[in-house]
Amino acid sequence: MSNEKPKYDFSAMGQAIKDARLKRGWTREQLAQEVNLAPRYIMSIENKGQHPSFQVFVELMTLFNVSVDQFLFPDIGTGKSTRRRQLDATLDELDEKDFLVLQSTANGLKEAKAE
């Protein structure tokens, strides 16, 4: 009997990193330069699901505000999704006037859903 556990499939997280990179408008080369890695290594993580070191994993996930909960605990609805974390990061860059516009928009959406 083997004690070997199946290796975690990193493909979904790699795709999330790629999506976040593209959303930011970065090339693979720009990301590689930002985190001091080879572009080919970034490509392997994004497209082939290569397992990065823990340090690289944390660096990439925090750089792009990607939530790991959705990948590690897909059946549990707790925690913030990647989209929510990225929205929170964007909101942190806004001022009070921007929040007034967003609040009015959110209230309008809420009212439209209630109809």
Q: What is the pLDDT of residue 77?
A: 56
Amino acid identity for residue 40 in this structure: R
Over the chain, what is the mean pLDDT? 86
Q: What is the pLDDT of residue 3?
A: 72
Q: What is the pLDDT of residue 55?
A: 94
Instruction: For the chain, 115 residues long, give each residue's pLDDT as a single digit of tens.
Output: 557 777 778 898 999 999 999 999 999 999 999 999 999 999 999 999 899 999 999 999 999 988 887 777 666 655 677 777 778 788 888 888 888 888 889 888 888 888 7
Instruction: Give the integer Cα–Cα distance in Å for 21 and 64.
Output: 7
- Reduced to 3 DSSP states, what percent helix, strand and coil does the chain have, rounded to the nearest 5? 65, 0, 35
